[in-house]
Amino acid sequence: MADQPSRAVLDNALQCIRADREHGASWLARAAADALAEACGAAAVAHGADEALREIHTATRALAHARPSMAALANTVAHIWAAGAAPPADASWDATDAGTALARMRDAARVEETLWSRAAGEIVTAARSYLNGGTLLTHSRSGTVEHALTRLAADAADAEPRAIFVTESRPGGEGVALARILATAGWRVTLIADMACGLFVGQARAVIVGADSVRADGGVVNKVGTYPLALAARAAGVPLYALCETRKVAAPEYPLTFEEMDAAELLPRPMPGVTARNPYFDLTPAPLVTGVVSERGLLSPDEIRAIAMAAARSLAALDAGLG
Active site residues: 212
Rounded to whole angstroms, the Cα distance separating 196 from 229 reads 9
- Tell which residue, 186, 308, 294, 316, has the closest CA to residue 241: 294
3-state secondary structure of 277: coil
User: DSSP of 62-120, one letter per residue?
Assistant: HHHTSSTT-HHHHHHHHHHHHHHTPPPTT----HHHHHHHHHHHHHHHHHHHHHHHHHH
Q: How many CA atoms lie within 13 A of 11 on its CB side?
A: 7
68 burial type by CB count under 10 A (0-12 exposed, 13-18 middle, 19+ buried): middle
Task: List 189's β-bridge partners, or say none.
Answer: 164
Rounded to the nearest 10 degrees, what angle do helices 301-320 and 49-64 cross at?
Answer: 140
